[in-house]
Amino acid sequence: MARVAALAGHEIVASRWAPVAFLWQDSATLLVYAAIDRALLRVPRVRWAVYAVFVGYVAIGVPATRVLSTPMTWTMWRAAGGALSDSIWQYVTAANLLWIAGVLVAAIAAPRVASGFLTAAALARAVSRINIATISLAIFAILGPFAVARVDTRGLDRNAWSALVMSALPRTADVKRTADTGGARNWRAGLHGLSSNTDLSRFRAAAADQNVILVSLESTAAQYLALYGANEDAMPNLSALARSAIVFDNAYAVYPESIKGLFSILCSNYPASAANTYEDVPCRSIASHLADHGFHTGLFHSGRFGYLGMDALVRNRGFSVLADAGDIGGHHESSFGVDDRTTVARLLGWIDTLPRGDRFFAAYLPIAGHHPYESPEPGPLPARDEFGRYRNALRYADTALADLVSGIASRGLHEHTVWIVFGDHGEAFGQHDGNFGHTFQLYEENVHVPFMIAAPGLRGLTPLEPRLHWGQTPWVRNAGEIEGVGSDPDPMLRAHQPVSLIDTAPTILDLLGLPADPTYEGTSALASDARMALFFTEYSLNLVGLRDGNLKYTHDLDSGRSRLFDLDRDPLEAHDIAADHTDDIRWYRQRVRSWTGVLRSR
Q: At what angle do helices 18-39 and 160-168 cross, to 10 degrees?
A: 80
* Predicted pLDDT at 36: 93
Q: What per-residue confidence (pLDDT) applies to 281?
A: 82
Domains 195-525 and 530-602 share a fold: no
User: pTM of the full predicted structure?
Assistant: 0.87
- Between the CA of residue 338 and those of 365, 422, 500, what are the distances in Å? 11, 21, 29
pLDDT at residue 530, as a whole number? 74
Question: CA–CA separation, 564 vs 543, rounded Å?
Answer: 13
Strand-by-strand arrangement of the 562-566 sheet: 533-537, 543-548, 551-556, 562-566
Residue 66's pLDDT is 85
**Dihedral pair phi/psi, residue 333, rounded to 5°:** -110, 150
Q: What is d(CA 272, CA 261) in angstroms, rounded to the nearest whole number?
A: 11
* Secondary structure in 3-state letters for 243-275: HHEEEECCEECCCCCHHHHHHHHHHCCCCCCCH
Answer for the pair 532, 548: CB distance below 8 angstroms, yes or no: yes
Q: Are 282 and 316 spatial neighbours (Cβ–Cβ below 8 Å)?
A: no
H/E segment holding residue 291: helix 286-292
Residue 568 φ/ψ, nearest 5 degrees: -65, -40
User: How far, in Å, CA of 169 to CA of 177, rounded?
Assistant: 22
* Sequence letter at residue 351: I
pLDDT at 83: 59
For residues 27-66, one letter each, b for 16 or more C-beta atoms within 10 angstroms of the residue's C-beta and e for the rest, the string is bbbbeeeeeeeeebeeeeeebeebbeebbeebbebbbbbb
pLDDT of res. 6: 86
DSSP structure class, residue 568:
T
Topology annotation, domain 195-525: Alkaline Phosphatase, subunit A (3.40.720)
- Give backbone dihedrals phi and psi of 248, rounded to 5 degrees, phi first: -90, 120
pLDDT 10s digits, 309-345: 788 888 889 999 999 988 898 777 665 678 899 999 9
What are the extents of the domains in the chain?
2-168, 195-525, 530-602
Which tens digits make up the pLDDT trace of 382-405?
Answer: 777 889 999 999 999 999 999 999
Residue 472 DSSP class: S
- Helical spans, DSSP H, in 117-243: 120-148, 160-168, 184-188, 236-241
CA atoms within a 13 Å half-sphere pointing along the CA-CB vector of 526: 21
| Residues whose CB falls within 8 Å of the CB of residue 393, separated by 6 or more in sequence, listed in order | 368, 369, 370, 373, 374, 375, 379
Report the C-alpha gap between 366 and 421 in whole angstroms: 12
- Per run of 10 residues, the mean pLDDT along the chain (length 602 residues) is 86 86 93 91 92 94 86 81 68 86 91 70 65 85 89 89 86 46 63 74 91 96 94 92 93 93 94 71 92 96 82 89 88 75 96 95 93 82 84 94 95 93 94 88 96 81 36 34 51 87 97 94 88 91 93 92 94 95 94 88 76
Architecture of domain 530-602: 2-Layer Sandwich (3.30)
Q: Could you give the angle at the alpha carbon of 147 between the alpha carbons of 144 and 150, nearest 5°?
A: 155
Count of beta carbons in the 10 Å neighbourhood of residue 459: 14
- CA 16, CA 147: separation in Å to the nearest integer? 9
Strands 428-429, 436-437: pairing is: antiparallel
